[in-house]
């Protein structure tokens, strides 16, 4: 292929991949399989490697690139990024609408209402449709250039669908579940915790190294433009429609009203419904829809008169710290836990709140018996906000972190550079129990029926001393356990047997080297192909793998230099556990499920959940966790649950396990 042919092909690939990014990350409606997408991207990477002059700013390969910055540059916004005035009550909302009617002299208004994201406000500048700069709000006039991090957000288009010059404003946010998982990892690894998803988003965007931002599942909603002069729309809703047509992500819950009573009702209803969202909102934003009226109303020195943010009442609850206990994680980190008098917060009863580490415990000054205020950080994680010192009686007791592990009695230590105290005993019983729970978890070996309660019984009865022992369990041993009947024992043994077929990345993640997540496990497994090659790899070879940094690389090498870990690997091999990252079925065969989306629900008899997912993905299909109009099939096993009803209401075809097998049998002949 000559340069001209390569350039023509590269242009087509960039356009095609960017279109697929929009379908997947903005619309949540992919039209090709993950494998097809990976092949397109791999082809583009090979072309750009062979012809470096073909690399363009809007190429998907350039989302993460370049060396870390030494410092942030200051940039001026094309139009001020002003903050919004807040309304903390319904009366203040009505004051807002009365003021705007007085300013404009217009009594019949339209209102745009949208969720107020609790993230980091940013501006994105496009020239001829290509992203050239991302910046923080800063003081509203001058922000920091964070282009290198903005480019890592997959829902941010590197190239718009029209060659236009414009600056748009949006909110970068951290999904609630991902935030909790990030803080759990940081606590386990001894790092300081983010206070809330907003801080996590801001901290991620202010990383000098874009690889760190890229490792976090950030997202964005675009809510407006810096300047709209010269554009044809006359209302805010028309603007949002135009931005969406350009390929930008707009919040689907944005709504238009002509009756302000309905605006108020909407704000009040979202104060309750917000807990159903996968991200945190702290209020609702109300804007005048007509852009001419916006212009007429104008601005104060710090905010527009034509918009207001209704802030939800913060739900903070008072309770008592009845005790403080210390838990030990699978990597040995000691975490103080406040045991609370049960209290309902944000829709659920809270009995415990993590105090994270000794530094935070001391900073908050918590004593046993204290009256405290708690809330849910990010509306998800119970957090102790403050101690009500004025309510102390003198009967409160100081708590001192133990100098020996509460599980095994061995001395604990502070590792340089880490916050948490850590038990260094590799045979610590609680660490071993936590490793078994992690090994059996859905993200790892996905052993159904092996939850914390069963894992604890197996450990306490000394039936399992390391994860490899799971594959040597006997039925008579299981039946002897409390509440473990023959059927339950059979099901557990079958699930353990099924897990032997999992790909290597699941096993690697389940073994649990520090700092290594499920994504990194997949990258490592696909790069080296076998556990044998991973074990023999040097730190330098690990660092050479894309997306694997020095800390993860050193951790993996250290993990497999430990003789006890190598002994576990040998036992797994003897038990017949797969130690290879098997080639995907269909790479040389037919991808008969290409472009089709499946949802799995209920217990399947012939497959474990992970095996069924692997079979679908190996044939070009995609498995998602929720049913939508974009779902092609729901595969229903025993006790399918609510997903079955969702499928019926959306008229999505439901397959029995037998029908699912017949599809595979008829087209591939790989099912007996």
Catalytic residues: 116
DSSP 528-539: H-BHHHHHH--H
429 within 8 A of 436, measured Cβ to Cβ = no
Encoding tokens for residue 581? Answer: 């990252």
Strands 317-328 and 334-345: antiparallel
Contact 382, 374 (CB under 8 A): yes
Contact 373, 318 (CB under 8 A): yes
Q: How would you label 153-169 residue by residue, b for 16+ Cβ within 10 Å and e otherwise?
A: bbbbbbbbeeeeebbbb
Q: Is 314 exposed, middle or buried (0-12, 13-18, 19+ CB in 10 A)?
A: exposed
Burial 559-570 (b: 16+ CB within 10 A, else e): bbeeeebeebbe
Are 336 and 361 contacting, i.e. CB atoms less than 8 angstroms apart?
yes
For residue 252, give every residue at least 6 positions away whose Cβ sits within 8 Å of its Cβ, in sequence order, or none: none
Burial letters 519-556, b for 16+ CB under 10 A, else e:
ebbbbbbebbeebebbbebeeebbbebeebbeebbbbb
Q: How far apart are CA 468 and CA 669, in angstroms?
A: 33
CA-to-CA dists, residue 572 to 129, 199, 482, 569, angstroms: 53, 42, 27, 5
Please give the Cα distance from 603 to 624 (Å, whole number). Answer: 16
SS3 state at 429: helix
Q: What gap in Å lies between CA 383 and CA 338, rounded to an integer?
A: 10
């Amino acid at each position: 292929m000559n340069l001209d042919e390569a350039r023509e092909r590269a242009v087509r690939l960039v356009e095609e991949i960017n279109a697929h990014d929009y379908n997947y990350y903005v619309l949540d409606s992919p039209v090709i399989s993950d494998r097809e997408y990976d092949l397109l991207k791999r082809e583009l990477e090979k072309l750009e490697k062979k012809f470096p002059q073909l690399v363009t700013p809007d190429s998907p390969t350039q989302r993460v690139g370049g060396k870390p910055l030494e410092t942030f540059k200051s940039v001026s916004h094309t139009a001020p990024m002003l903050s919004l005035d807040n309304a903390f009550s319904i009366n203040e909302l009505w004051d807002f609408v009365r003021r705007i009617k007085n300013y404009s002299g217009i009594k019949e208004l339209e209102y745009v209402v949208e969720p107020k994201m609790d993230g980091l406000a940013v501006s994105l500048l496009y020239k001829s449709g290509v992203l050239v700069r991302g910046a923080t709000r800063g003081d509203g006039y001058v922000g920091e250039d964070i282009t290198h991090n903005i480019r890592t957000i997959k829902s941010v288009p590197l190239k718009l669908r029209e060659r236009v010059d414009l600056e748009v404003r949006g909110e970068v946010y951290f999904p609630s579940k991902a935030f909790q998982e990030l803080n759990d990892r940081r606590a386990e690894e001894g790092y300081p915790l983010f206070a809330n998803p907003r801080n996590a988003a801001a901290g991620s965007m202010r990383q000098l190294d874009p690889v760190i931002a890229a490792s976090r599942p950030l997202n964005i909603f675009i809510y407006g433009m810096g300047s709209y002069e010269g554009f044809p729309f006359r209302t805010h809703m028309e603007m949002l429609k135009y931005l969406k047509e350009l390929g930008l992500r707009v919040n689907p819950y944005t709504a238009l009203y002509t009756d302000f009573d309905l605006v108020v009702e909407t704000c009040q209803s979202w104060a309750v419904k917000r807990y159903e969202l996968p991200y945190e909102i702290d209020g609702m934003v109300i804007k005048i829809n007509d852009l001419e009226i916006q212009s007429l109303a104008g601005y104060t020195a710090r905010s527009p008169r034509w918009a207001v943010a209704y802030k939800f009442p913060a739900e903070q609850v008072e309770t008592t710290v009845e005790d403080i206990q210390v838990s030990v994680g699978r990597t040995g980190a000691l975490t103080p836990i406040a045991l609370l008098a049960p209290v309902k917060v944000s829709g659920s009863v809270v009995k415990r709140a993590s105090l994270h580490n000794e530094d935070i415990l001391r900073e908050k000054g918590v004593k046993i018996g204290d009256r405290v205020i708690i809330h849910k950080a990010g509306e998800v994680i119970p957090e102790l906000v403050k101690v009500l010192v004025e309510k102390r009686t003198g009967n409160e007791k100081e708590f001192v972190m133990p100098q020996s592990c509460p599980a095994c009695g061995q001395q604990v230590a502070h590792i340089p550079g880490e916050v948490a105290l850590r038990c260094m005993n590799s045979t610590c019983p609680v660490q071993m129990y936590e490793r078994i729970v992690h090994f059996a978890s859905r993200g790892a070996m996905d052993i159904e029926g092996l939850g914390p309660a069963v894992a604890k019984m197996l450990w306490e009865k000394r039936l399992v001393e390391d994860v490899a022992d799971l594959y040597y369990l006997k039925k008579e041993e299981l039946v002897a356990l409390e509440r473990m009947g023959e059927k339950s024992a059979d099901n557990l043994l079958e699930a353990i047997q099924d897990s032997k077929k999992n790909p290597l990345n699941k096993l690697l993640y389940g073994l649990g080297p520090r700092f290594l997540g499920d994504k990194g496990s997949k990258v490592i497994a696909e790069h080296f192909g076998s556990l044998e090659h991973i074990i023999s790899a040097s730190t330098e070879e690990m660092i050479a793998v894309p997306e694997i940094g020095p800390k993860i690389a050193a951790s993996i090498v250290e993990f497999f230099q430990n003789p006890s870990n190598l002994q576990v690997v040998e036992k797994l091999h003897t038990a017949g556990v797969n130690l290879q990252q098997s080639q995907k079925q269909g790479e040389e065969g037919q991808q008969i499920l290409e472009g089709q989306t499946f949802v799995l629900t209920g217990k399947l008899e012939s497959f474990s959940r992970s095996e069924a997912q692997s079979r679908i993905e190996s044939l070009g299909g995609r498995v998602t966790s929720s049913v939508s109009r974009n779902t092609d099939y729901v595969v229903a096993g025993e006790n399918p649950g609510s997903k079955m009803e969702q499928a019926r209401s959306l008229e999505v075809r439901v397959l029995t396990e037998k029908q699912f097998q017949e599809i595979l049998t008829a087209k591939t002949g790989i099912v007996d």
